[in-house]
Amino acid sequence: MASVRDRNASAWLLPAGPGTNHGLRDDMRRFDDDDEVDIVIIGCGAGGSTLLQRLARAGWRAVALDAGPFWDPLKDWVSDEAGSHHLYWTEPRVISGADPVPLGSNNSGRGVGGSMVHYAGYTPRFHPSDFHTLSADGVGADWPMEYPDLAPYYEDIEGELPVAGEDWPWGDPHSYPHRPHPVSGNGELFLRGARAAGITAKVGPAAITNGRFGNRPHCIYRGFCLQGCKVNAKASPLITHIPDALNNGAEVRPNSMVTRIGIDENTGKATGVHYSRNGLERFQRARMVAVAGYSIETPRLLLNSVSQRFPDGLCNDFDQVGRYLMVQGAPQTGGRFDSEVRMWKAPPPEVSSEEFYETDPSKPYKRGFSIQTVSPLPITWAEHVTAQGHWGKDLRAYMSDYVHWACLGALCEFLPQAGNRVTLSDEKDRRGMPVAHFSYSQSDNDRQLMKAAQSAMENILRGAGADEVITIQRYAHLVGGARMAADEQHGVVDSDCRSFAVPNLLITDGSVLPTQGSANPALTIMAVTARAADKLIVRTPTGPR
Amino acid sequence: MTALPLEPEAGGGRFPGFVATSQIGHWDDATSAVVMARLGLPPDLRFFSPTEEAAARALFDQLLYQREDPRVPIVNMVDARLAENQTDGWHYDSMATDGEAWRSSLSALDEDAYSRHGVSFAVVPWDDQEALLQDVHDATQWHEFSGAHIWSLWTRYACTAFYSHPAAWDEIGFAGPAFPRGYKNIGVNKREPFEVADARPQQDPLRSPGTSGNGGGK
């Protein structure tokens, strides 16, 4: 395998220490709307950025549009919770269902880097079992690929981020390129409690440099990972894939909101994208289009791209677009210690356990959950406290006790259901584009997992010596909504992320995942995209033109 | 701002002498600008009508137990967000957008106050205000709202404003911004030189008066 630098030089293209390579951006290649580029990519997050970098390396004339800014971390991001509101997708959306899922800050990013700008940094792999839950357990779905198809791409991406952690015993056992980080009070208590409860827990996997990596510095343990890493220690595509893409002739066009994909009514092929920039309606011509807007915006864009050929929305001939959207049940349990924990010090991603990940035949439910340290900052911690019914004087009293709390979070594998989906609302955004309506309801299996996860976290925290535990019910992550499947009656794209309906349209983001395991999705989104890019390049041996 | 008034039994004075902003020399400029703006003159009201303002002030005083000055200017901070339509990026299909939901819920609060006490919410005595709010908190349905949804809207905006303020950080021992300095001493019972230990570590709010001071711990 080529060294990381030989296949992705991003970390060596950044300035030493924190900062941005402004020259690389200033000198970036810029295409005209009338240039028929080889590919236009919609969205610059985990999927879009990876695809851009891979194709630019292969000599493709590629441009990626993002609705948000091209961040300069030192200027645009702050070491402050409330001041980081602009990192989230906060344009209007409507939520409903029996268990409506709040969006925005928790699960939606904007700007170059996508939600990996504000994800914690956990990058676990999926387990081999995740790829065939329907055959094995009669729940969920089978992927049109198996774990070994993805394994080499996991390894590649882990090298490029890079990921730090102990040797990993679960799923397909593997090791990580960077050694595990030292742990803070929160991680220490998780490890102590897990030992007492007889549960295996390991440090990692966190996509945060532990030691220098190219010009990227070591983590400084400041704890504001969810507010965007000003240090350049935590991986996001803004620093892990975009610099190399630019250096290979790609363009990133920020502040460009794609509202519709153009279709040739005769051939049924995509012709480019309609987008809005600086108040002007524009159209970028392209030979190929890749959608990477994530699980809410990708279905919204497809459904809004209506034509004579696709009267119900692009790629929606079989009513699959927007369906099988998943969130993970993500209860968080806090434990109170007389010692000072000060859980906000050090990155939230420290220690995790996948001991409960797989189906346990002795339980009434299928599939499982993982447990990880989380370290809510004060505003988020206040949500935990108000969720217990405290307000007024009680709230202030509880909050004054903040230094004494440790906090764990679970990720429960909620199952894909056809009715959990994005549709278009009657409500419009400021451009006149219908906003997404996301309806979500849990299944019985989902609810059982939430309970089991809470009880496991309570055991661990009590095992560590907590005298009281409190739990908040919440959700995390999004995947699905335009899933891959064996055929067009069951999904929107094939295993190479090619849409069934439009020959020159790809979808390369989290929306293609048929199931989600109890793993944070970022690494898998990147690996699935890196694989799709490889397949695309191999399919086009003479080059894109 | 001097320390926010809070009696010891409500958690006041646990971190004597701790002032988060004393570390400003170690913060980056972008962060300092954002944080220190909260200590300046609060923005004028643009969103709430005078009637809504009065109800909102009383509501925030109750939710955050701010009974006397100096106070964190929650009403200005929330008003600014609503004027700028700085929402969290979603609303329930059964509920209006945040701004409209704020207006109608404040009006509903006044309606309750008039029907029970014959005056607007802002001039209802403290204890009666508290009782009115506890009823909203406990309600499944309150006026046209789901009780849980409206309570969540109120507390999310209120807590986001309050716990973004350095004076609130002082009260809970949180030092705020940490770039470019970072932390050197991480781990249970480890502190940086500028951090102050909790003066009353046994003051577990869960060990309410009348229960054992040892809690249920191992």
In this predicted model, what pLDDT tens digit does every residue of A77-133 receive, in sequence order? 999 999 999 999 999 999 999 999 999 887 899 999 999 999 999 999 999 999 999
Nearest residue in B to A429, CA atom? B89
Q: Do A392 and B64 touch (CB under 8 A)?
A: yes
For A430, residues 6+ apart whose C-beta sits below 8 A from its C-beta are none
Rounded Cα distance between A383 and A196, Å, is 29
- Tell me if A223 sits within 8 A of A380, measured CB to CB: no
pLDDT-derived band at A487 (thresholds 50, 70, 90) equals: very high
Rounded Cα distance between B48 and B210, Å, is 43
Read off the DSSP letter of residue A416. P
The predicted pLDDT at position A270 comes to 98
The predicted pLDDT at position B212 comes to 35
Q: What separation in angstroms does the CA of A40 have from each of A252, A261, A435, A526, B196?
A: 10, 10, 23, 18, 53
Residue B210 above 60 pLDDT? no
Rounded Cα distance between B182 and B185, Å, is 10
In this predicted model, what pLDDT tens digit does every residue of A26-45 receive, in sequence order? 999 999 999 999 999 999 99
Chain mean position to CA A122? 10
The predicted pLDDT at position A114 comes to 97
DSSP string for residues in A484-538 = B-SSTTT-SB-TTSBBSS-TTEEE-SGGG-S--TTS-SHHHHHHHHHHHHHHHHH
pLDDT-derived band at A169 (thresholds 50, 70, 90) equals: very high
Query: Which of B90, B137, B174 has the CB atom closest to A93's CB atom?
Result: B90
Residue A339 above 70 pLDDT? yes
Nearest residue in B to A110, CA atom? B89
Cis link prior to A205 (omega < 30° from 0)? Answer: yes
Rounded Cα distance between A223 and A376, Å, is 9
Query: Which of B90, B94, B201 has the CB atom closest to A103's CB atom?
Result: B90
Query: Which of B88, B94, B206 has the CB atom closest to A105's CB atom?
Result: B88
Q: Do B93 and A95 touch (CB under 8 A)?
A: yes
In this predicted model, what pLDDT tens digit does every residue of B169-202 receive, in sequence order? 999 999 999 999 999 999 999 999 999 999 999 9
- Which positions in chain B touch A188 (Cβ < 8 Å)? 187-188
- Which positions in chain B touch A342 (Cβ < 8 Å)? 173, 190-191, 195
Rounded Cα distance between B13 and B4, Å, is 10
Decide if B23 touches A, using CB distance below 8 A: no
- Tell me if A344 sits within 8 A of B174, measured CB to CB: yes
Which residues are bridge partners to A466 per DSSP? Answer: none
- Which positions in chain A touch B190 (Cβ < 8 Å)? 185, 342
Phi, psi of A202 (to 5 degrees): -130, 155
Q: Average pLDDT of A372-387?
A: 97
Decide if B99 touches A, using CB distance below 8 A: no
- Which positions in chain A touch B163 (Cβ < 8 Å)? 81-82, 378-379, 381-382, 399
Q: What separation in angstroms does the CA of B126 have from each of A379, A392, B112, B113?
A: 26, 12, 15, 12
Rounded Cα distance between B47 and A473, Å, is 32
Rounded Cα distance between B64 and B48, Å, is 19
Percent of the residues in chain A that have a pLDDT greater than 90, as a whole number: 97
Decide if B22 touches A, using CB distance below 8 A: no
For residue A419, give the 3-state DSSP assignment: coil
Q: Which amino acid is located at B192 in the chain?
A: E
Rounded Cα distance between B34 and B161, Å, is 13
For A250, residues 6+ apart whose C-beta sits below 8 A from its C-beta are A28, A29, A52, A53, A55, A56, A62, A63, A64
Nearest residue in B to A230, CA atom? B179
Q: Do A94 and B93 touch (CB under 8 A)?
A: yes
Give the best residue of A101, A399, A404, A423 to mutate against chain B (max B CB count within 10 A). A399
- Which positions in chain A touch B129 (Cβ < 8 Å)? none
Percent of the residues in chain A that have a pLDDT greater than 70, as a whole number: 99
A105 min Cα distance to partner chain B (Å): 7
- Which positions in chain B touch A401 (Cβ < 8 Å)? 11, 172, 203-205
Nearest residue in B to A100, CA atom? B92
Q: Average pLDDT of A163-168?
A: 98
Query: Which of A91, A185, A396 has the CB atom closest to B188's CB atom?
Result: A185
The Cα diameter of chain A in Å comes to: 71
Q: Do B94 and A383 touch (CB under 8 A)?
A: no
- Which positions in chain A touch B191 (Cβ < 8 Å)? 340, 342
The predicted pLDDT at position B80 comes to 98
- Which positions in chain A touch B89 (Cβ < 8 Å)? 88-93, 103-105, 108
Q: Average pLDDT of A333-354?
A: 96
Q: Do B183 and A346 touch (CB under 8 A)?
A: yes
pLDDT-derived band at A17 (thresholds 50, 70, 90) equals: confident
Q: What is the mean pLDDT of chain A?
A: 97
Rounded Cα distance between A368 and A410, Å, is 10
DSSP string for residues in A216-244 = BPPP---S-GGG--TTS-B--HHHHTHHH
Q: What separation in angstroms does the CA of A127 have from each of A186, A367, B4?
A: 26, 11, 50
Q: Do A401 and B92 touch (CB under 8 A)?
A: no
B129 min Cα distance to partner chain A (Å): 12
B158 min Cα distance to partner chain A (Å): 10
Q: What separation in angstroms does the CA of A342 have from each of A30, A79, B197?
A: 47, 17, 11
- Which positions in chain B touch A73 (Cβ < 8 Å)? none
Q: What is the mean pLDDT of chain B?
A: 93
Residue A260 above 90 pLDDT? yes
Task: List the structure tokens of B175.
Answer: 């030092």
CB pairs under 8 A between A and B: 239
Q: Average pLDDT of B100-104?
A: 98
Phi, psi of A541 (to 5 degrees): -65, -25
User: Alpha helix locations (H) across B84-210?
Assistant: 98-117, 126-138, 147-162, 166-172
The predicted pLDDT at position A107 comes to 86
- Tell me if A521 sits within 8 A of A326, measured CB to CB: no
Q: Do B172 and A400 touch (CB under 8 A)?
A: yes
Query: Which of B31, B162, B186 has the CB atom closest to A345's CB atom?
Result: B186
Q: Average pLDDT of A298-313?
A: 97
Q: Do A80 and B198 touch (CB under 8 A)?
A: no
For B50, residues 6+ apart whose C-beta sits below 8 A from its C-beta are none
Rounded Cα distance between A24 and B185, Å, is 37
Nearest residue in B to A399, CA atom? B172
Decide if B211 touches A, using CB distance below 8 A: no
pLDDT-derived band at A541 (thresholds 50, 70, 90) equals: low
Residue A542 above 70 pLDDT? no
Residue A1 above 80 pLDDT? no
Q: What separation in angstroms does the CA of B24 have from each of B3, B56, B180?
A: 17, 32, 11
pLDDT-derived band at B51 (thresholds 50, 70, 90) equals: very high
Residues 112-131 of B with CB under 8 A from A: 130
Q: Do B35 and A83 touch (CB under 8 A)?
A: yes
Give the best residue of A20, A341, A403 to mutate against chain B (max B CB count within 10 A). A403
Residue B211 above 50 pLDDT? no
Residue A331 above 90 pLDDT? yes
Residue A419 above 60 pLDDT? yes
Q: Do B88 and A90 touch (CB under 8 A)?
A: yes
For residue B41, give the 3-state DSSP assignment: coil
Decide if B49 touches A, using CB distance below 8 A: no
Q: Do A80 and B188 touch (CB under 8 A)?
A: no
Query: Which of A189, A341, A392 has the CB atom closest to B130's CB atom?
Result: A392
Decide if B2 touches A, using CB distance below 8 A: no
pLDDT-derived band at A540 (thresholds 50, 70, 90) equals: confident
Give the best residue of A192, A396, A426 to mutate against chain B (max B CB count within 10 A). A396
**Low-confidence winner among A204-218, A431-445, B99-113, B193-207 (lowest mean pLDDT):** B193-207
Q: Do B31 and A344 touch (CB under 8 A)?
A: no
- Which positions in chain B touch A182 (Cβ < 8 Å)? 186
A84 min Cα distance to partner chain B (Å): 10
